[in-house]
Amino acid sequence: MSDEDQRKQNRIQKLFDEAISHIASSDRPLICIGENIVKAGPDAMGYFLEFAKMASIPVVSAVRNYAPPKDIKDLWIGYIGTNTTDIPLKRADLIINFGAESLNNTAASVRTIHLDSNDGHMVYIKTDVGIIGDMKTAAEMMLKTRNNYTMGRGYDEWKTWKKEIIPSKPIALCEAVRRESTSLSAFPQPSPDVGLRAFALT
């Protein structure tokens, strides 16, 4: 690896470190599933689901016809635009956005980590930490960085937050939604990207 490539890799890793640091310091974190992580395919979703489970953060979805997997049934809240997600979006102090084009009804003070394959989405969403590129690579890097990070808070500190916002019957909800949902194969698969790059808004 050349010196320039190493410097680029270091800059990218620093951004992921910053993202995980935001998560570690948050009191009311929330993950959002967007269409671009779904379209990235099963490998990208595999890394995303592993990250969501490892981080133990509640999940909402901006993709209405995406069935929530059983892997995150205990973290699932619902679809953006429904009654179950209004309060969590307004109360969250941090949103980790995996490829959603827009986020409505969030607090003005909310911090946002935005991972996306389309830099045009960054224009519409306030972004504190932004990463643009291949969604599979981004999700994998989030998982690896989270695994290497000593969290100052998490499971116990977020129990009250999760109890307040996660529906009481997530398994039944997931199964009901799954029966009415479109499979992942209905989404076109994007061309592979060449990597990741930092994107910061001032």
What local confidence, expressed as pLDDT, does residue 168 receive?
65
CA distances from 28 to 91, 161, 162 (A): 7, 6, 8
Q: Are strands 196-199 and 94-98 parallel, antiparallel or unpaired?
A: unpaired
CATH number of the domain at 183, please: 3.40.50.1220
Q: Does any domain span residue 165?
A: yes
- Percent of the chain whose pLDDT exceeds 90: 39
For 53, other C-beta atoms within 10 Å of its C-beta total 15
114-156: pLDDT as tens digits: 999 987 767 667 788 989 989 999 999 999 998 876 655 555 6
Question: Which range (153-162, 163-172, 179-188) has the least confidence?
Answer: 179-188
| Beta-bridge mates of residue 172 | none
Tokens of 14: 């620093």
Indicate the range of 38-42, 55-59, 64-68, 75-79 predicted with least confidence. Answer: 64-68
Position 202 in a domain:
no
* In-domain check, residue 54: yes
- Residue 83 backbone dihedrals phi, psi, to 5 degrees: -60, -35
pLDDT category of residue 42 using cuts at 50, 70 and 90: very high
Run of H or E residues at 15: helix 3-25
- Whether residue 155 is contained in a domain is answered as yes
**pLDDT tens-digit map of 72-119:** 888 999 998 888 898 899 999 999 999 988 777 788 889 999 999 987
Residue 63 is part of which domain span? 3-95+133-194
Helix (H) and strand (E) counts in the chain: 7, 7
In a domain, 178, yes or no: yes
To the nearest whole percent, how much of the chain has pLDDT over 70? Answer: 77
Structurally, the chain folds into a number of domains equal to 1
- Residue 107 covered by a domain: no
